[in-house]
Amino acid sequence: MKVTNVKATPLAIPFKESYYYSHHVAVGINVVLVEVETDEGITGVGEACGDRSAEAILGIVRAAARLLDGEDPLQVESFLHRFYRSAKWDDMRRFAHQALAGVETALWDIAGKVANLPVHKLFGGAFHERINHFGFLQGDDPDKLAAHAQQLTDEGFSVLYLKVGRGRSRDAACVEAIRNQVGYDVRLRLDANMAWQVGEAIQELNALARYDIDFAEQPVDWQDLDGLAHVRASVPMPVAVDQGCFTDKEALQVIRKGAADVIVAGLHETGGVLGMKKLAAVAQAGGLPVCRHGVMGETGVSTLTALQVLATIPNLTAGHQVMHQLNEGDIVPAEHLVFEGGDIAVPDRPGMGIELDSDMVAKYARKFERDGPYWPC
């Protein structure tokens, strides 16, 4: 079997409503759909994270395509070595991973289809039959967030996730409104997206501690693991690293510095399912659990792909991040993305279990071609 073509299709997908966090306000996402075609008629599907850099992501996917042309798609490790070492992307992993994840996961999709097995069986089998996800609170004022919290808990979500770092009084008002609405039986997580300096983070999190925070994600700059460790030692709730940990080597540094209680990482940070599996193994050796990170720039393709690798990882938290539900529509049929009490069942279909809705793909491809990529407001 040989690779005959790598098709990269940029998509522009509107959100159902505006997405607020400490960096800016977003109204839609950019995604690069990757399809790796073979001479035996088997096509692997993956998704690269476009976010605000879809054109650059396309360039990296096309560079990877040149290395794959005429090659055996099942030689995944060999391809990764040639891409990162021979093609000199090794010193740009943090960015390259976001593009290469779409190619790497498409290769594993092919491998599963060749074997007529779900990918999780190629990675040791399913340790988990269902994966639990968070309820992602949306809105820009306490009343709306509290109402959404009630809706999500009524739907069975047991972990709620709130963006903070948008002002001390606003953050406190939002957290208080949510707790007043749904009580303390549901777990509440906060993510500041690196909004704070170290001292500021300590003050902010200590002020919010009385609301029983499950964990606080990436409160300070991703490059400051020493600062993150200081925050962790100075606040009563667990602290999670996210942007500060994209690779297995970075996971080792987090463990050595005692910088976090939880590692939040996803396919687009780790460069695909193999990188995610390796990072999780390092975390497990260091006694840390892993929570899947979702990116602002993914569809149900990423959700289904993540299910396959998460199913094989023993050291998982509950409440994994998921983002496809924020989109106006999806390129995967809705029946494959059904939440039951926050859970999605791990599919047993061959490969990643992805089926594409060609009409929706065409719709969002036309939008990208017509209007270009989304940019922050």
What are the mean pLDDT values of the chain's consecutive 10-residue runs (377 residues total)? 97 90 83 97 94 85 95 96 87 90 98 98 96 96 97 98 95 98 98 97 98 98 97 98 95 98 96 97 98 93 98 98 96 96 97 98 97 80
Give the domain 3-116+357-371 fold: Enolase-like; domain 1 (3.30.390)
In the chain, CATH 3.30.390.10 sits at 3-116+357-371
294 near 269, Cβ under 8 Å? no
pLDDT at 338: 95
Domain 121-345: homologous superfamily in CATH = Enolase-like C-terminal domain (3.20.20.120)
Phi-psi region of 156 (alpha: psi -120 to 50; beta: other; left: phi over 0): left
- In 206-237, which positions are buried (b, 16+ CB within 10 angstroms) versus exposed (e)? eebeebebbbbbbbbbbebbebbbbbbeebeb
3-state secondary structure 34-64: EEEEECCCCEEEEEEECCCCHHHHHHHHHHH
- Please say whether the beta carbons of 76 and 277 come within 8 A: no
Identify the pLDDT of residue 34.
98
Identify the DSSP state of 316. B
Residues of the chain with CATH 3.20.20.120: 121-345
pTM of the model: 0.95
